[in-house]
Structure 1
């Protein structure tokens, strides 16, 4: 099936209109920015403090916006029975995901960049910052889409998604407790992004460690795309 820009554009416009009317979604988008601003005033004196706050707020944004919001908007399609219509209209998994995800990607990227400037990080690092955060956002959107498509409604996205996304959010905080948490964290995309941020902002030379961290994030993107495509195709057959 050919990839249709027209279908993707129609999905994008529909999603942008729906999100602009959803107060809960708008609050979830603004919350990481609010916390980043508040924490920057309270604890953001040193470079280490700024970097820690930025990583915490980035993790929150990864979970709330690409994760939960993506799940909610897809579950909403199921509630309205429009997901079935899209599937019967021969919308491919890639078209569906791109159409839904584009607005989430733009919101997440805008939020991340705004937090970058709130914390007063140097413009020298902005390019790498954008590349790394976009990769993590894509991986989280894919798994948010998986949660959304297997959920019966928006309410159940919290029940299904909370255990999954809390792993991404909380495991990096527990790495100092024992090596088990550290080993698990080293397999998560957001923790590898945190490691990359620490190396980038401390001017560490790009080497094999960078390649490993990027490879882990890319692996999550590939796995997420495969899982979503399989579930979407299965739902379409059902």
Structure 2
């Protein structure tokens, strides 16, 4: 079993925070979901539905993209290999590298809920936490495939387009039957939960989250021996 060092996790978190605060091209992304929330606030739809699009933007452009950019930046500077071979365990590295985007995501979602006037249920909070972990894992995977920060834009693009916008893809399912698979995406499960269904959406998001982190861990371990 891997030992977890909170001191090492904190050090990785602070390193990422400094990199994030210096890179304005990445840090400016945090304002996009808030702007979209203000635009959606006065729309004449259910309050839970108002939250879905800002959530999609948050998970895609903030959680996944920023996580991928931070991982890719480590690779570009050839510091990821050193980090993986350092005394820090793989758990320390993955938790530390995900802590910043998870905290930023939590703050943005909290602000979005406040702006719209939406009070999430306990089940929704659990689903949002799992979704945050899922998109952090996807960002890690995309970052490991990217060779540079610039290339992150292309590796994370399928994630930003497909995974956060499941409900919107379902709108075209009548014309393109293959898009019916979008109903099983985490974003679609989250939308179902917002409409009252609880157990199946949470189980679905949990399965996606576990699968994504298993892949991320395998890729990290492969990176250690490359």
- The answer to whether the superposition gives a TM-score over 0.5 is yes
Structure 2 residue 203 is matched with structure 1 residue 215: yes
Tell me which residue corresponds to 1:33: 34
Whether the 8 Å contact between 1:109 and 1:130 is mirrored in structure 2 is: no
What are the Cα deviations for residues 73-125 of structure 1, in whole angstroms up to 9, with x where unaligned? 0000111111011012143332111101111111101111111111112x4x3
Change in CA separation of 1:103 and 1:22 when aligned onto 2, cut-off 3 Å: same
- When the two chains are superposed, the root-mean-square deviation of aligned CA atoms in Å is 1.7
Moved more, 182-191 or 222-231: 182-191
Tell me which residue corresponds to 2:160: 165
Secondary structure of the structure 1 residue equivalent to 2:4? coil
Whether the 8 Å contact between 2:63 and 2:102 is mirrored in structure 1 is: yes
C-alpha separation in 2, matches of 1:51 and 1:2: 40
C-alpha separation in 2, matches of 1:105 and 1:169: 16
List gaps (5 residues or longer) in structure 1.
200-208
The 4+ residue runs of structure 1 with deviation greater than 6 A are: none
Structure 2 residue 135 is matched with structure 1 residue 140: yes
Change in CA separation of 1:197 and 1:171 when aligned onto 2, cut-off 3 Å: closer
Task: Report the alpha carbon displacement of residue 182 of structure 1 after superposing the two structures with TM.
Answer: 5.8
TM-score by length of 2: 0.91
Whether the 8 Å contact between 1:70 and 1:148 is mirrored in structure 2 is: yes
Matches within 5 A, 1:42-57: 43=43, 45-46=44-45, 48=46, 50-57=47-54
C-alpha separation in 2, matches of 1:182 and 1:30: 30
TM-score by length of 1: 0.87
Aligned positions, number: 223
Secondary structure of the structure 2 residue equivalent to 1:186? helix
Task: Report the alpha carbon displacement of residue 195 of structure 1 after superposing the two structures with TM.
Answer: 1.2
Secondary structure of the structure 2 residue equivalent to 1:89? coil
Structure 2 residue 171 is matched with structure 1 residue 176: yes
